[in-house]
Amino acid sequence: MEFKRVTLLAGHYGSGKTNIAVNLAMLLRQKRERVAIADLDIVNPYFRTKDSQYDLEQAGIRFICSEYANSNVDIPALPQTLYAITDDRELSCILDVGGDDRGALALGRLAPGLLEENDFEMLFVVNFYRPLTSTADDALEVLREIEIAGHLPFTGIVNNSNLGDETTPDVVLRTADRTQELCGKCGLPLRLTTVNRPLVPALRDKIPNLIGLDLQAKIR
Amino acid sequence: MADKVLMKGNEAIAEAAIRAGCRHYFGYPITPQTEIAAYMAKRMPKIGGTFLQAESEIAAINMVYGAASAGKRAMTSSSSPGISLKGEGISYMAGSDLPGLIVNVQRGGPGLGGIQPSQSDYFQSTRGGGHGDYHLIVLAPASVQEMADMTVKAFDLADKYRMPVMLLADGTMGQMMEPVSLDLSIAEAPEKPWATTGTKLARPHNIVNSLSLVPEELEKLNNARYEKYEIVKQNEVMYEEYMMDDAEICVVAFGIAARVSKNAVVAARKNGVKVGLIRPITLWPFPADVIAKAADKAKRFISVELSMGQMIEDVRLAVNGKAPVELCYRVGGMIPTPEQVLEAIENGGAKS
């Protein structure tokens, strides 16, 4: 996979952004020396990139997140180190944006810098098995709401359709039509399809730009 | 499987409530249940329903009181500290014999506590929670599917017995995502001839009220309500038994603690330990009979809880001295591991 300097992952909450962000950061680190992952989720303090902080830092990935993340203090505060994303143009970044338009509000501060530099990719993560994004039209509505709130245009789609433990190759393949429809309606390319790694062999020949994900488990 | 969707527990509650005919949601945000309100805010306007973020939890429960008085299926949701605030309104609903759904996605307490999962509102839920003599029917789901199923069940039971029903979940159940079938069996809401829907000058006024100043009258009302509770106890107890046929050790756990315990029971069985699990699904009425029956055979009971030991009192009452009852617990937002429960099963006495 080719990366721009900054890759943003946004979408409906619970669509799988955080897990994809962590996996993409690991991939990016194989290609570039200076890599950072930023957790911009100021909406939901329950599931966070920070849960994978140890693994990420072991892999030499810089970690940018609110100092309140995982402290269970419910403060929608962004970290001051956030400015490294736009100020340090030698740094390659993966941005895990909070869910829905509310989560994308945090992008407003970064949008002017990212637009001016124009070396970013903003990916809309969709799981068509999530009830509020189960059709192309519903997903498109969320996509537009996020663009308005975040002041940034999407540049591609990531199909992360899954049913958790009950995901089979067929579950993924059945969303191909809806993905096509969404891409047609918003005029954006299907950039990636992401699946749990064990499903990759069965789908490799059927889906282009397929990436296998390692699940980050939260056990405490 | 084609009809399944991937949902958070909180979302499953909201969607199931809508499908059960609830068009009136009143709430106030608090972690870890806010997705219920967020989901309702998105969906209700599209289906002609009412989503209202009230100025406080107290206001929200009184709005449920109002909507229920008018015969509508209505609900509110909150987490532990917010449920305490609703206590007065819940008591008023019980005293006015009003149906309604109150969801408590519990977090660690007391006080403001934390935002991580807990089961320490067991006493509050099963003993009423507010002032006066009353009970709620308390349902304790242990999967996202059950979050949906029990929400529908809650509305049915509330209408059937004209009493408030509480869905008692925890932060884990609210936040976790699992595949869910929304092919729910929805019964038509019954007629509510008691509701305050306007007389149209064709009948006497219906009065919904919990104020009763004549002591003889108030005593009668309380007695009648407790006769109704006896019928609930007879008819509505729900539980799951797992590997109990030959069990010499009986684990009792509900909700997320039951899921952890089930793993421990499977692990212990592999080691040749005869252990089983009783999972209460209704916490009130409590499955006391099935636990009493198990006590005829089991030599030891273990209550696994995310509290300092609350349900254990009901287990002890049911066991009635026939066997020792031990506690295995974590609190403050921590969850017992299967290993901790296994240790309690195999070696006993293991606590926090």
CA–CA distance, B166 with B89 (Å, rounded to integer) = 13
* Assigned token pair, A171: 């579950």
Cβ of A166 and B1 within 8 Å? Answer: yes
Say whether pLDDT at A70 is over 80.
Answer: no
Has residue A219 got a pLDDT over 70?
no
Among A48-57, A193-202, B268-277, B325-334, which stretch is predicted with the lowest mean pLDDT? A48-57
Distance CA B111, CA B80 (A): 9
- In percent, how much of chain A has pLDDT > 70? 90
Average pLDDT of span B159-179: 97
Q: Is A74 in Cβ contact with B1 (below 8 Å)? A: no
Q: How far apart are the first and last CA of chain A?
A: 33
Q: What is the DSSP letter of B117?
A: B
Type of residue at B34: T
Is residue B74 within 8 Å of residue B51, measured between CB atoms? no
List phi, psi (to 5°) of B345.
-65, -45
Question: Residue B196 above 90 pLDDT?
Answer: yes
**Model confidence band, residue A52 (pLDDT cutoffs 50, 70, 90):** confident
Q: What is the pLDDT of residues A31-49, one digit of tens each?
A: 999 999 998 887 776 666 6
The reply to whether domains B4-235 and B240-347 share a CATH topology is yes
User: Helices then strands (H, E): number in chain B?
Assistant: 12, 14
Contacts of B334 in chain A (CB under 8 A): 220
Sign of CA dihedral B169, B170, B172, B174: positive
- Which residues, in sequence order, are CB contacts of B101 under 8 Å at separation 6+? B17, B22, B73, B74, B75, B76, B151, B154, B155, B158, B164, B165, B166, B167
More confident residue, B254 or A69: B254
Q: State residue A79's pLDDT score.
A: 82
- The one-character DSSP state at B251 is E
Alpha carbons B60 and B74: distance in angstroms, whole number:
11
Contact B8 A14 (CB under 8 A): yes
**Measured between CA atoms, how close is A129 to chain B, in angstroms?**
5
Chain B residues near residue A72 by CB distance under 8 angstroms:
114-116, 333
Task: Return the pLDDT at A140.
Answer: 98
Would you say residue A180 has pLDDT above 80?
A: yes
Q: How confident is the model at residue B329 (pLDDT cuts 50, 70, 90)?
A: very high
**Residue B352, pLDDT score:** 41
Confidence of residue B348 (pLDDT cuts 50, 70, 90): confident
Closest Cβ opposite residue B177 in set A74, A164, A174: A164
Asked if residues B275 and B231 have their Cβ atoms less than 8 Å apart, the reply is: no
- What's the fold here for domain B4-235? Rossmann fold (3.40.50)
Express as a percent the part of chain B with pLDDT over 70. 98
Alpha-carbon span B178 to A130, nearest angstrom: 10
Which whole number is the average pLDDT over B115-129? Answer: 95
Whole-number Å distance between alpha carbons of A3 and A23:
13
Nearest-Cα distance to chain A for B130, in Å, is: 28
Per-residue pLDDT at A40: 86
Confidence label for B159 from pLDDT (cuts 50, 70 and 90): very high
Residue A217 has pLDDT above 60, yes or no: no
Indicate the pairing of strand B282-284 with strand B164-170: unpaired
Quickly tell me which residue has 């499955």 as its tokens: B287
What is the arithmetic mean of pLDDT over A168-191?
97
Handedness of CA B106, A40, A165, A53 (dihedral sign): negative
Residues of A in contact with B15 (CB under 8 A): 131
Which of B6, B114, B171 comes nearest A127 by C-beta?
Answer: B6
pLDDT of residue A75: 66
- Summarize the confidence of residues A145-174 as an average pLDDT: 97
How far is the C-alpha of A143 from the C-alpha of A109, rounded, in Å?
19
- Superfamily covering domain A6-213: P-loop containing nucleotide triphosphate hydrolases (3.40.50.300)
What pLDDT, on a 0 to 100 scale, did the predictor assign at position B128? 81
Cross-chain residue pair A72–B114, CB shorter than 8 Å? yes
On the question of pLDDT at A211 being above 90, the answer is: yes
Domain ranges of chain A: 6-213
Residues of chain B contacting residue A127, judged by C-beta atoms under 8 Å apart: 6
- Average of per-residue pLDDT across B190-201: 96
Give the residue-averaged pLDDT of B244-263.
Answer: 98
* HEC secondary structure over chain A: CCCCCEEEEEECCCCCHHHHHHHHHHHHHHHCCCEEEEECCCCCCCCCHHHHHHHHHHCCCEEEECCCCCCCCCCCCCCHHHHHHHHCCCCEEEEECCCHHHHHHHHHHCHHHHHHHCCEEEEEEECCCCHHHCCHHHHHHHHHHHHHHHCCCCCEEEECCCCHHHCCHHHHHCCHHHHHHHHHHHCCCEEEEEEEHHHHHHHCCCCCCEEEECCCCCCC
Per-residue model confidence (pLDDT) at position B50: 98
The SS3 call for residue B105 is strand
Residues of A in Cβ contact (< 8 Å) with B175: 46-47
Residue A53 reports pLDDT greater than 90: no
B148: helix, strand or coil = helix
Q: Is the pLDDT of residue B176 over 60?
A: yes
Amino acid at B284: W
Cα gap B174→B273, rounded to integer Å: 33
Inter-CA distances, B264 with B173, B311, B339, Å: 19, 19, 7
Classify each residue of B94-107 as buried b or exposed e, where b means 16 or more C-beta atoms within 10 Å of its C-beta.
bbbbbbbbbbbbbb
Best of A47, A68, A132 to substitute, by most chain B Cβ atoms within 10 angstroms, is A132
Report the pLDDT value the prediction gives residue A1, as an integer from 0 to 100. 83
| Residue that is written with structure tokens 């979940």 in the block | B169
CA B13/CA A192 separation, integer angstroms: 32
Q: Please tell me which residue of chain B has the smallest CA distance to A160.
A: B6
Mean local confidence (pLDDT), A15-35: 95
User: Is residue B351 predicted with pLDDT exceeding 60?
Assistant: no
Residue in B5, B6, B79, B260 to test binding to A, most A beta-carbons within 10 Å: B6
Lowest mean pLDDT among A20-29, A43-52, A155-164: A43-52
Question: Which pLDDT value is given to residue B224?
Answer: 98
Whether the pLDDT of residue A72 is over 80: the answer is no
Residue A69 has what pLDDT? 62
CB contact under 8 A, B115 and A45: yes
B310 and B329 Cβ atoms separated by less than 8 Å: no
Task: Report chain B residues whose CB lies below 8 A from the CB of A166.
Answer: 1, 4, 179
The chain B residues in contact with chain A (CB within 8 A) are: 1-2, 4-8, 11, 15, 31-32, 35, 39, 42, 114-116, 171, 175, 177-179, 182, 333-335
Q: Which CATH architecture has domain B240-347?
A: 3-Layer(aba) Sandwich (3.40)
Q: Tens of pLDDT along B49-84?
A: 999 999 999 999 999 999 999 999 999 999 999 999
Q: Please report the pLDDT score of residue A77 as a whole number.
A: 76
Mean pLDDT computed over B129-154: 97
Closest CA to B273 of B306, B302, B246, B309: B246
Residue of chain A minimizing CA distance to B175? A46
What's chain B's average pLDDT?
A: 96
**Which pLDDT belongs to residue B1?**
45
> Domain residues of chain B, as ranges?
4-235, 240-347
Chain B nearest CA to A163, separation (Å):
5
CA–CA gap between residue A3 and residue A29 (Å, rounded): 11
Q: Residue A220: what pLDDT?
A: 31
Q: Cβ contact (<8 Å) for B6 and A165?
A: no
